[in-house]
Chains A and B, each alone.
Chain A
Amino acid sequence: SQQGEEDPQALSIQEGENATMNCSYKTSINNLQWYRQNSGRGLVHLILIRSNEREKHSGRLRVTLDTSKKSSSLLITASRAADTASYFCATDARDDYKLSFGAGTTVTVRA
């Protein structure tokens, strides 16, 4: 079953702006990951945040995790055209060894 739900479904921004997307999930998790998918291609891992972490950075990416609200956010700062892609959160539930993906947020960065 789908655990994570991304919001918004689609986002269009100007190059240089920041992009923020959110992920909500239903059950307690061990970890939450974010992946990027360029049109029709395989997903690429961006960042993993553990349930005992609140914030993590990787380059222009900032991920937060609020386990009390069962939600996470991904912020891409100073966006570039190359950031145009779909972004998925994936959760690893406490009592399950499966990684469940949400439906994704499609980000378009306009030049």
Chain B
Amino acid sequence: EAQVTQNPRYLITVTGKKLTVTCSQNMNHEYMSWYRQDPGLGLRQIYYSMNVEVTDKGDVPEGYKVSRKEKRNFPLILESPSPNQTSLYFCASSPRSGANVLTFGAGSRLTVL
């Protein structure tokens, strides 16, 4: 089944403890992106990648890192999480950037205490 898989789905952590949210897609998509969703703010883009080894900042990149060493994987790294990073995170992919339909993962709900 064509899908975007995120892990973990739920995580409670403490301030400053590094964590990684993994994202993997099995559709050979070139474009991958991370969003965070907060009440009243909709989805805001954190980082995106147009292909392997090509990443760029979205609208809210502060406090996050990403890497794209392989086409299928696009992990989101929080080096030193803070409570304002408590959010619902979505990974998404599409065949290429631009006018393409995004396939979303099921989401990762992160709480930073």
Binding between chains A and B: yes
Q: Which residues of A contact B (CB under 8 A)?
A: 1-2, 30-31, 33, 35, 40-45, 48, 50, 88, 90, 92, 97-104
Q: Are B99 and A92 in contact (CB under 8 A)?
A: yes
The answer to whether the Cβ of B74 comes within 8 Å of any Cβ in the partner chain is no
Given contacts A30-B99, A98-B33, A104-B42, 17 further A-B contacts (CB under 8 A): A2-B59, A30-B98, A40-B109, A42-B4, A42-B104, A42-B106, A42-B107, A43-B90, A45-B103, A88-B43, A92-B99, A97-B48, A98-B58, A101-B35, A101-B44, A102-B42, A103-B41
Q: Are A100 and B45 in contact (CB under 8 A)?
A: yes
Q: Are B42 and A33 in contact (CB under 8 A)?
A: no
- What's the minimum C-beta distance from A14 to chain B, rounded to whole angstroms? 26
Say whether chain A's binding surface is mostly helix, strand, loop, or mixed: strand
- What's the minimum C-beta distance from B106 to chain A, rounded to whole angstroms? 5
C-alpha spacing A59/B107, complex, angstroms: 27
Q: Are A97 and B97 in contact (CB under 8 A)?
A: yes
Number of A-B contacts (CB under 8 A): 62
- What's the minimum C-beta distance from B90 to chain A, rounded to whole angstroms? 6
Q: What size tier do the contact residues of chain B reach?
A: 20 to 34
- What's the minimum C-beta distance from A34 to chain B, rounded to whole angstroms? 11
Q: List 14 A-B contacts (CB under 8 A).
A: A2-B59, A40-B109, A44-B104, A45-B101, A48-B101, A92-B99, A97-B98, A98-B48, A98-B97, A99-B33, A101-B35, A101-B44, A102-B42, A103-B42
Q: Are A101 and B42 in contact (CB under 8 A)?
A: yes
Find chain B residues with CB under 8 A from A33 CB.
Answer: 101
- What's the minimum C-beta distance from A8 to chain B, rounded to whole angstroms? 14
Find chain A residues with CB under 8 A from B43 CB.
Answer: 43, 88, 101
C-alpha spacing A33/B90, complex, angstroms: 17
